[in-house]
Amino acid sequence: MSSRELVVLGTAGQAPTRTRNHNGYLLRWDGTSVLFDPGEGIQRQMLHAGVSSPRIERICVTHRHNDHCLGIPGVLNRMAQDAPGRSVTLHGPADAAVHLRNLAIVAQAQVQVEVVGVPELDELVPVADVAGAHLSARALDHRVPAIGYRLAEPPGTTFSAAALAAAGISGPDVGRLQREGELRGVRLADVSTTRPGQVFAFVMDTRVCPAIGEVVADADLAVLECTYAHRDVDLARTRGHLTARQAGEIAARAGVRTLLLTHFSRRYDTAELGREARDAVAALGGSTLVHVAQDLDVVPLPTRAARG
């Protein structure tokens, strides 16, 4: 099992259907888990997916509309059953902080809950550290204040065993070389390659705006809503959403490696939305892979190769 993967708990926009639950996305990242936008019914979806609630350390909400956060009381109660007395942090735009606190109060769960409001700024702002990666957020453009999330791992270093041996460097000296950048005339670049950090991005309800590109730039896996087909682009703009074509274009231009489409209106066949996004990527000459999410999908983050 991959140590970094996204479990799709629900894919419906606004209202669930017979085959799609309300929103919900759990990111497993190096032994910890972050739950994004848990809508109603997510506690049951977690059981179907085999998701362990004690590993959830943070719940990140993009905005205060209930299809993106009404599952919080149930999730907190599940946590209280599985690991009483534990703590969890709820993140969301500052506009949603009171609503999130009220949802935590409704739960009346034996869980220590901290609600942290994120400023809705036109730049990426730090939110938290997640297992060594940096979680940040940026304001988007919806009918209420909304933010998108970006989780970025710092670049790493991959050493060449042969190069280290040839240079006569071993044991504690390897760590010293990494910290100082040079040791006894040997440069770090002489015996290692740079491994780019992985990037995960999460964007829900928003109109097209430049901020989306900044949130998803160079992401290995980007989750984008595509509530509408492009034939209904005027409706999407009015209601503050993306079309599948727009999602594909944004991902291609931003260099996204894998695009996960979700948050579907029940008026569409999701296969149509997938075709529309793939056609948009192809028209721009992009290489983004497009995946149409289904409930209970498990999507691994693509690995990154080292580069010299």
For Cα atoms 212, 234, 148, give the angle at the middle one, nearest 5 degrees: 20
Residue 68 among known ligand-binding residues: yes
Place of tokens 């460097």: 169
CA–CA dist 47, 297 (Å, integer)? 14
Residue type, 53: S
142 known ligand binder: yes
Strand ranges (DSSP E) for 100-232?
112-118, 125-130, 133-139, 147-152, 156-159, 182-183, 186-187, 192-195, 199-203, 221-225
Q: How many CB atoms lie within 10 A of CB 120?
A: 19
Q: What is the reported pLDDT for 306?
A: 52
The residue type found at 302 is: P
Candidate list 30, 37, 67, 295, residue with the active-site label: 67
Encoding tokens for residue 189? 């670049």
- What pLDDT, on the 0 to 100 scale, is given for residue 63? 98
91 is in an annotated binding site: no
Residue 111's CB is within 10 A of a number of other CB atoms, namely: 21
Q: Is 205 annotated as a binding residue?
A: yes
Q: What is the pLDDT of residue 307?
A: 45
- Determine the straight-line distance between the first and last CA of the chain, rounded to whole angstroms: 28
For residues 146 and 93, is the Cβ–Cβ distance under 8 A?
yes
* pLDDT score recorded for residue 85: 84
Question: What CATH number should be reported for the domain whose range is 4-155+196-300?
Answer: 3.60.15.10
> Which residues have CB under 8 Å from 180's CB, separation 6+?
none
Domain ranges of the chain: 4-155+196-300, 158-192
Question: Does 99 appear as a known binding residue?
Answer: no
The answer to whether residue 173 is catalytic is no
Contact 244, 260 (CB under 8 A): no
220 is in an annotated binding site: no
Rounded average pLDDT per 10-residue block, the chain, 308 residues: 86 92 96 96 95 93 97 95 90 98 94 96 98 97 98 91 92 91 91 91 98 98 98 98 98 98 96 98 98 98 68
